């Protein structure tokens, strides 16, 4: 690993410094649906990190937008290690994955319209413009926040659809040793180790996760197993230098190796355009992320200053028996200054300044395209105001981005919440977003098949939402949200005659996304709880449905817990409606529209406590062995089962 030395040095620093312990553990909740009386005392102390640039929102249930919190308890109950899987239970989220790339879409947005943060670090690949969420494995004590709706006013480009933020536990919030080991069908062997420790003025945590499987065939009628091996090493720490100055650092290394299959590009073949067994075709993705920062509290903590710098280095390649077929390098350097002033308990003013430089390179000389390094620089200035009254909550943010390649952009976000009664709350929000074209769209080149377009302009979106949060007695809450957004200048792929070579372009028509999200959280009895979600989406461009965006998505998780938490079991049912997609089954390579069948997945898991520190568990995914496709002609995994043990002390 060419960057192992860098990783070790940064991880070492992370054990000396750290990210503050922002959040306590609680149950999964759609925060828009949670009233103060429903939440426990511990849950009321939750702090949401991503909903404000000040770095914390002390009353998440008062947030005027749509926010879902997936806690460590929820990840444990579902025995979820792939974060992509648990995101399927979030309203408004669509997941589609194949070997080497798993995409998430929020409210009908494109996959590269979703900003993914891991411990505060932007983790998208600057070359491809999006993050492979399939490489994100959960660590003991971690949690996830999902903000739906345009967030560019806070975070700039990439946040048109919203933000997904993964937070690992600090050494102070989750001290001690945790280990997990499991094995099962398809040669599966997974493991995780974590150690957290803290002193009076410091805390540190180090974790490692390994995921390995021989996999299953993913081509229709195929026999070649598509396996993968994924390794994650992460560290974070926090040092309180003085009563007012805190230093922190985070580091993460992810490497994924696996098999994949190609499509059949022989026009004379009966399987032309379909995925076929492709022996010897593999992929390797490797990424290094790091962040260091300092926070200074003044005026008794009412005025804070935070300075941070982060890096991301993402390398990807695909190999075949005939040699390297694709390779790319993407790098990001970002520096941020955030100052927040809290003159009174109800008011908060925040200013932020971001500097970001992304560079990228097509690392395959044989492609015939440009293989030099290109770069894009951007400066963003943010102003944000929040008001939290007794019954009224207000928020407003404005951002101006100064780009060296594209036209400067100004985005906004406003929100308001009103507590009508002790059990009913009305909320509304509106905002705009922007997404700059990525390197591959601008300069990408695949000989005879794809040519980039350096004249592309950024995509722009505006949207609004209105929601109602209702408390049902003292055991249940429900949230209903209607949203509507419009995307202009959508980047799509054209196939112009006579060559029909693919080239990206901006659409001249608008793309509409509108729909309804419903979430329910209920305590059915002392030992039974239910979390359910449903999303309806109407996403069209010029009256044509957008691909890989099902109209209907639903999920339900029923959990039983024995007294004193001696044992538990969870049944998860997920339904994905029929989904439009495109197939390249025409020899001209002009895409043909197809419809993927709907599918329903059933997962079942159980856990039993053997001692105070040792538990045994078992899990069956796709219990009914459903055959389904998330992407045309790529068959998704069938039934699998694992058993394992977990220790915490």
pLDDT band at 534 (very low <50, low <70, confident <90, very high): very high
Q: What is the DSSP letter of 612?
A: S
Higher pLDDT, 51 or 295: 295
Per-residue pLDDT tens for 236-277?
999 999 999 999 999 999 999 999 999 998 988 999 999 999
Instruction: Indicate the average pLDDT of the chain.
Output: 90
Q: 505-538 burial, b if ≥16 CB within 10 A, otherwise e? A: bbbeeebbbbbebbbbbbbeeeeebebbbbbbbe
pLDDT band at 138 (very low <50, low <70, confident <90, very high): very high
Q: How far apart are CA 504 and CA 491, in angstroms?
A: 6
Point out which residues pair with 621 in neighbouring strands.
640
| Mean pLDDT to the nearest integer, 142-161 | 95
Cα 99 from chain centroid? 17
Pairing of strands 121-122, 114-118: antiparallel
Quote the tokens at residue 99: 């070997």
- Asked whether residue 26 carries a pLDDT value surpassing 70, the answer given is no
Q: How far apart are CA 617 and CA 443, in angstroms?
A: 49
| Mean pLDDT to the nearest integer, 127-133 | 91
- Asked whether residue 81 carries a pLDDT value surpassing 90, the answer given is no
Report cis status (omega within 30 of 0) of the bond before 498.
Answer: yes
- Asked whether residue 299 carries a pLDDT value surpassing 50, the answer given is yes
Quote the tokens at residue 19: 């990210």
- Asked whether residue 432 carries a pLDDT value surpassing 90, the answer given is yes
pLDDT for position 444 = 82
pLDDT for position 39 = 30
Per-residue pLDDT tens for 386-427?
999 989 999 999 999 999 999 999 999 999 999 999 999 999
pLDDT band at 80 (very low <50, low <70, confident <90, very high): confident
pLDDT band at 49 (very low <50, low <70, confident <90, very high): confident
pLDDT band at 19 (very low <50, low <70, confident <90, very high): very low
| Mean pLDDT to the nearest integer, 602-620 | 97
**What CA dihedral angle connects 101, 107, 108 and 110, to 10 degrees?**
-40
pLDDT for position 20 = 32
Taking Cα atoms as reference points, which of 59, 54, 56 lies closest to residue 43? 59
Give the position of tokens 């640039």: 53
Higher pLDDT, 588 or 492: 492
Question: In 10 A of CB 60, how many CB atoms?
Answer: 24
The three-state DSSP-derived secondary structure of 490-516 is: CEEEEEECCCCEEEEEECCCCEEEEEE
**Domain residue ranges in the chain:** 4-648
Quote the tokens at residue 382: 């943010």
Give residues with Cβ within 8 angstroms of 329, minimum separation 6: 127, 313, 314, 315, 360, 361, 363, 373
Taking Cα atoms as reference points, which of 156, 109, 100, 155 lies closest to residue 133? 100
| Mean pLDDT to the nearest integer, 517-540 | 96
Higher pLDDT, 288 or 59: 288
pTM for the complete prediction?
Answer: 0.91
Please say whether the beta carbons of 33 and 59 come within 8 A.
no
Q: How far apart are CA 67 and CA 70, in angstroms?
A: 10
Q: How far apart are CA 544 and CA 551, in angstroms?
A: 13
Q: Which fold has domain 4-648?
A: Maltoporin; Chain A (2.40.170)
Q: How far apart are CA 328 and CA 326, in angstroms?
A: 7
């Amino acid at each position: 690993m060419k960057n192992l030395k860098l990783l070790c040095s940064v991880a070492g620093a992370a054990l000396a410094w750290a990210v503050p312990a922002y959040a306590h553990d609680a149950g999964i909740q759609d925060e828009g649906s949670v009233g103060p009386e429903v939440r426990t005392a511990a849950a009321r102390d939750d702090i949401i990190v991503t909903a404000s640039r000040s770095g914390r929102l002390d009353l998440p249930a008062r947030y005027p937008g749509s926010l879902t919190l997936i806690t460590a308890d929820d990840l444990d109950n579902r025995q979820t290690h792939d974060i992509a899987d648990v995101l399927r239970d979030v309203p408004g989220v669509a997941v589609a994955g194949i070997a080497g790339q798993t995409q998430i879409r929020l409210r009908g947005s494109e996959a590269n319209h979703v900003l993914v943060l891991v411990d505060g670090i932007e983790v998208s690949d600057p070359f491809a413009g999006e993050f492979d969420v399939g490489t994100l494995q959960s660590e003991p004590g971690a949690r996830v926040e999902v903000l739906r709706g345009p967030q560019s006013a806070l975070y700039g480009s990439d946040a048109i659809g919203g933000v997904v933020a993964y937070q690992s536990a600090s050494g102070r919030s989750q001290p001690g040793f945790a280990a997990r080991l499991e094995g099962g069908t398809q040669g599966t062997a997974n493991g995780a180790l974590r150690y957290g420790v803290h002193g009076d003025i410091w805390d540190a945590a180090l974790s490692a996760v390994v995921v390995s499987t021989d996999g299953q065939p993913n081509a229709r009628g195929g026999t070649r197993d598509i396996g993968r091996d994924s390794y994650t090493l992460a560290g974070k720490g926090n040092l309180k230098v003085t009563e007012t100055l805190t230093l922190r650092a985070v580091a993460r290394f992810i490497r994924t190796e696996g098999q994949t299959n190609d499509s059949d590009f022989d026009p004379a073949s009966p399987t032309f355009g379909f995925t076929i067994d492709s022996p010897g075709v593999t992929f390797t993705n490797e990424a290094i992320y790091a962040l260091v920062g300092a926070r200074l509290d003044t005026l008794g903590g009412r005025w804070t200053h935070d300075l941070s710098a982060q890096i991301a280095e993402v390398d990807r390649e695909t190999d075949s028996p005939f040699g390297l077929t694709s390779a790319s390098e993407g790098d990001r350097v970002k520096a941020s200054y955030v100052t927040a002033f809290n003159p009174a308990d109800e008011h908060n003013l925040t200013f932020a300044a971001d500097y970001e430089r992304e560079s990228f390179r097509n690392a395959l000389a044989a492609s015939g395209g440009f293989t030099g390094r290109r770069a894009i620089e951007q400066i963003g200035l943010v102003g944000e105001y929040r008001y939290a009254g007794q019954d009224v909550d207000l928020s407003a943010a404005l951002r101006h981005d100064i780009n060296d390649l594209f036209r400067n952009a100004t985005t906004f976000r406003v929100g308001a919440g009103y507590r009508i009664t002790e059990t009913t709350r009305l909320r509304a929000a509106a905002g705009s977003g922007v997404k700059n074209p990525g390197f591959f769209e601008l300069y990408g080149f695949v000989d005879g098949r794809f040519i980039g377009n350096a004249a592309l302009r950024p995509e722009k979106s505006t949207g609004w939402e209105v929601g109602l949060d209702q408390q049902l007695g003292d055991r249940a809450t429900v949230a209903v949200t209607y949203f509507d957004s419009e995307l202009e200048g959508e980047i799509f792929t054209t196939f112009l005659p006579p060559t029909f070579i693919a080239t990206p372009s901006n659409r001249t028509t608008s793309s509409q996304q509108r729909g309804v999200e419903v979430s329910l959280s209920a305590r059915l009895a002392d030992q039974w709880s239910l979390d359910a979600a449903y999303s309806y989406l109407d996403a069209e461009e010029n009256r044509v449905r957008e691909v890989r965006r099902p109209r209907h998505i639903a999920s339900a998780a029923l959990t039983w817990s024995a007294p004193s938490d001696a044992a538990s079991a969870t049944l998860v049912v997920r339904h994905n409606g029929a989904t439009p997609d495109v197939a390249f089954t025409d020899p001209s390579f002009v895409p043909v529209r197809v419809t993927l069948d709907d599918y329903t997945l059933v997962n079942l898991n159980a856990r039993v406590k053997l001692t105070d520190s040792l538990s045994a568990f078992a899990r069956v995914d796709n219990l009914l062995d459903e055959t389904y496709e998330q992407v045309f002609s790529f068959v998704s995994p069938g039934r699998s089962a694992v058993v394992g043990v977990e220790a915490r002390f």
